[in-house]
Each structure stands twice: as structure tokens, then as C-alpha cells.
Amino acid sequence: MIFTMDKNGNSGHPTKRFDLIRKLRKQGKVRIIGGGASGKPPVAVFLDREFDTSRTVKRKLIIALDPGYSYIGFTVCEIRNGKLVIYCRGILQTRISDIKGLMSDRRSHRRRMRYLSRFKQKRLSSRKGEVLTKFKAPRNVRSVDKTSITLKHGVETHLNLYRKLLRFFPFPKHQVQFVMEDNVFNIRAMTWGNTSDTDYHKSPRISIKDEKCVLCGSFEKLNQHHLIPRKTGGTDVPENKVYLCEDCHRDIHAGRIYLPVKGIKQWRALGTMNAIIGVLRKLPFIHFVPVSDMVSKRSTLKLEKDHDNDAVATAAAFCDCALIETSFEKRLTLAKFRRRIRAHTHAQRERHYKVNGVIIAQNRKKRTDQKEPSFVDVSPLSPDKQRNLEVYPGVKLFNPLKRNALCTGGDVWVHVPTGQRFIAKGVTSKTYLYSPMLDDIVGKFYVRPDQCKRIIHNEGIVVWS
């Protein structure tokens, strides 16, 4: 199958008339986009024709998704002669799980900049002999929309996947139906077990009543300890906290003693998916299929449980089809990439203090997440070290403008000698392209750009394989 589009960008139906497409391409009347090393399906663009939508044959085209937190399954298919003809199926690797950590990093950097700004105002005030203040309401006060960033990103990822698939497989939009599996996870039952009748309405949450150390029983200098650390997915629910005195708290984090109490399992991913599906369910153009119907249809079609097979079963349940055809099927693996990496934009080398060529400290004072000692930590130095001390100031690392950059993360390149494609991870050098995928191609993670050819710029959602 090859997909079609007229000179105005209006989509047509796919065709198998490769001989006609080849003939028109030689005459300069058709241009082929996609296909080949790009990994995208080929699309024939007619440069001299306009499609008459009033004469378009009615067809039932479906784009179905199996929503997910880390992976989203998808399929592009059509109902034809009572069969579900699959044009494509695959998965999208998302970045939903990364958003919380990235927002925490941004929050710490903002606090650091505000901290430095306050001291700058104090210095200027003492220098000019007057009080210079600049009040700015906190971000949570200025913002009107209180929606979680992770929730926003999750909703946009699912909607962007619909748009991307419609670009990869250009069908007439008025004939396409968007379908999604509808699933609600019962977090309460998964955490505390199944309940029924009036017991279901009773809150199983507990509160920390005894404010004393659970290890030694002390009532002084108490700290709240997270049983499941926040960096590994723990939350601030009461069941995940216990009281510890300062000494026991320090020993627990140092690994010197064992805490026999365990926290309940945190279902952050499933709770996020409940919120995402709840928002998507309000959109009128998406048709939802109950998960029970999808499971029944998957069993009827004898498909293994997987993200892409769940999407196929969802489409089959929506159309009530018992047969599928895979002769035109194309499998895709997509990955979500950032278009702009703030850490690369503001990247700089730390200030180094060296003695006889050996780094003894970084920066005057420690940054928030710095593990190496700072100059304050190693001071005062001995007279011998002071004579041999060398200071290397911090400098901004190589980071050209996007239009002048060698590449950006998510750009698709082809290694010309081998003809294999890879996806660049970002700008880390003036002379080399870096990608972990190069290890299977050339045996190392970098290659010179004159040996490669860029075929696709970062489009947010990239064809991984």
C-alpha cells in the first residue's frame, strides 16, 4: 500500500497501483515523501491534482490507542469486507514518567536563583544606602491553572500520537474514527484489598497517632521518615510515613540499622493514568471501548497480551470484527523526544580548584545537588597547597543556536557506509555525533558527521524502528 495526498495537502485513500505512481513520478507529477531509511510509510503527493471530497468513496478508517504510562499501543486499520485490515501497529515510548523529576529539578534551580537574587538586593541596598525591594508573587499564586504538569503532558502525548499517526497515514479526516480503550484502575482495591457494601465507604487510611520513634520510643527531636523514598516513587500519604528520632533517622539512611516497617505500595503510574483517561473521556471525538470488551475480543482473535495487540483488539471490539488481515501491516516503534533540553541550553563547566593538576574542590560553595567537596569544605589549605593552587573559572559549554547546531536530540541520521539509521541524543561535541544506537553500527557511541546524512529533524515523536 502507498498513501496519497493532493497538491493542497488533502488526504486520499491508499492504493496498490505502484506502476501508475512510478510512471507519474518519472514525469515529475508525483513526489514521494517518507519511506526508505526514514522509517515512515511512503506517501505519494500528486503535484498537479486536487481531490474532490464530494466524490470520495465512503470507508471506515480507525486509529485506536491502548493508553499507557510508559508505553502506548496503537494501530491504524480499516473495516473492509467484514475484516479488520491492519495497516500499522506498534508502540510509543513516552516521557510521562520523567516529567515529575524534571519539574523537581527546575523547582530547585528556581529556588537557588531566588536565593541569589535576595542576597543581590541586600548588597545593592547596602551599597546605595536605601532599601531596594522587588516583590513578585510566588509561581503557585500567579498561576491560574493548577493542573498537574504530568497530567497535562500525559493528555497531550495521547492527542499528539493521534495527530502523528494521521500524518504518517493520511486518510480523509471526516472518515477517520478515533478509538481508545477505557480502563479505570481501582487503586483502593489494589492497595488494601477488595471490600463491599458499607465497608467500601469507610476510609482505610490511617493517621500517625503515636508521635514517638518506632525504634527506640523516644519523644524528642522527632523526624518523619518516608518508608518508600520519594525518589523511588514514594508519596506523602500517612501510610508511607513513620516517626524516627534524629539519631535513628541518621542511622537508617546510613544503613547501620534495619527498619522492620514497610510502606504500602505506591500506584503513582496507575493513578496518573486514571486522571489522564478521565480528561480524555470528556473529548467528544474519541470513542471509548470498555476494557472487558477488549479482553474478550483479544481472546477471540488469539492475540498475546501486549500494548499493540491491545490496540488491535480495541479496534476489533469497536467494529465487532472476528477476522483480521495483516498482509499490508507495517510495524513501528516510536519514541518521544524533547525538542529543547534546558539543561543543555544552560550547561556550563563548574569552577575547579586544582593542586598539582588534581581537582580538590568544585565551586566556592556547594550547589543543591553537588556531591563533590566545595572550596569551603577543604579550606583552610596548607601553605604548600596554597602555593600550588590553580583556579579554573566556570565557563559555558558549547551550545550553539539551534539553526547553527550540528544536530539536536531526536534528529534521525543515516550512517552512509552501512546504510543504517540512528537517532542522535544531543549536542555534546563540535566534531562528533553521539548516539547509543551507534554501538551496534560502528562499535562506538560517536561518529564524524561527514560519514552520515541527516534525513529527519526532531519532530517530537520519532520513528525509532
Model pLDDT, residue 399: 55
| E-assigned strand segments in 134-175 | none
The answer as to whether 357 is a domain residue is yes
Residue 75 identity (one-letter amino acid):
T
* Rounded Cα distance, 131 and 135, in Å: 12
Closest CA to 134 of 123, 125, 143, 121: 121
How many domains does one find in the chain?
A: 4
* Rounded Cα distance, 264 and 187, in Å: 12
Of residues 156 and 268, more confidently modeled:
156
* Rounded Cα distance, 448 and 429, in Å: 10
| E-assigned strand segments in 52-201 | 60-66, 71-80, 83-93, 176-182
Same domain, 429 and 452: yes
* Rounded Cα distance, 459 and 465, in Å: 15
Q: Return all residues near 266 (Cβ < 8 A) that are at least 6 apart.
A: 228, 233, 234, 235, 237, 240
Q: How do residues 371-383 score in pLDDT, each as one tens digit?
A: 889 998 988 889 8
Same domain, 70 and 171: yes
Q: How do residues 95-143 score in pLDDT, each as one tens digit?
A: 998 888 888 877 887 787 778 777 777 777 887 777 766 655 555 555 5
- Least confident span in 74-88, 320-334, 399-413: 399-413
Q: Is the pLDDT of residue 72 over 90?
A: yes
Instruction: Tell which of 38, 53, 68 closes a domain.
Output: 53
The answer as to whether 124 is a domain residue is no
The answer as to whether 22 is a domain residue is yes
Angle (CA) 373 379 383, round 5°: 130
Same domain, 281 and 387: no
The answer as to whether 403 is a domain residue is no
Q: Is the pLDDT of residue 41 over 70?
A: yes
CB-CB contact of 330 with 35 (8 Å): no
Residue located via cell numbers 572550596: 375
Name the band, by pLDDT with cuts 50, 70 and 90, for residue 403.
low
Residue located via cell numbers 480499516: 78
Same domain, 174 and 320: yes
Interstrand relation of 348-349 and 358-362 (parallel, antiparallel or unpaired) = unpaired
Same domain, 171 and 38: no
Model pLDDT, residue 138: 59
The answer as to whether 165 is a domain residue is yes
Name the band, by pLDDT with cuts 50, 70 and 90, for residue 30.
very high
CA atoms within 13 A on the CB side of 421: 17
Same domain, 11 and 88: no
Q: pTM for the full model? A: 0.76
The answer as to whether 230 is a domain residue is no
For the chain, give the percent of residues with pLDDT over 90. 30
- Structural domain boundaries enclosing 385: 348-396
Same domain, 307 and 431: no
Name the band, by pLDDT with cuts 50, 70 and 90, for residue 446.
confident
Q: What CATH number does residue 159 fall under?
A: 3.30.420.10
Interstrand relation of 43-46 and 30-33 (parallel, antiparallel or unpaired) = antiparallel
Same domain, 70 and 33: no
The answer as to whether 433 is a domain residue is yes
Model pLDDT, residue 303: 92
The answer as to whether 177 is a domain residue is yes
Same domain, 177 and 294: yes
Mean pLDDT of 154-172: 92
Same domain, 87 and 161: yes
Same domain, 320 and 442: no
Same domain, 90 and 156: yes
Name the band, by pLDDT with cuts 50, 70 and 90, for residue 71.
very high
- Least confident span in 246-255, 274-283, 336-345, 429-438: 336-345
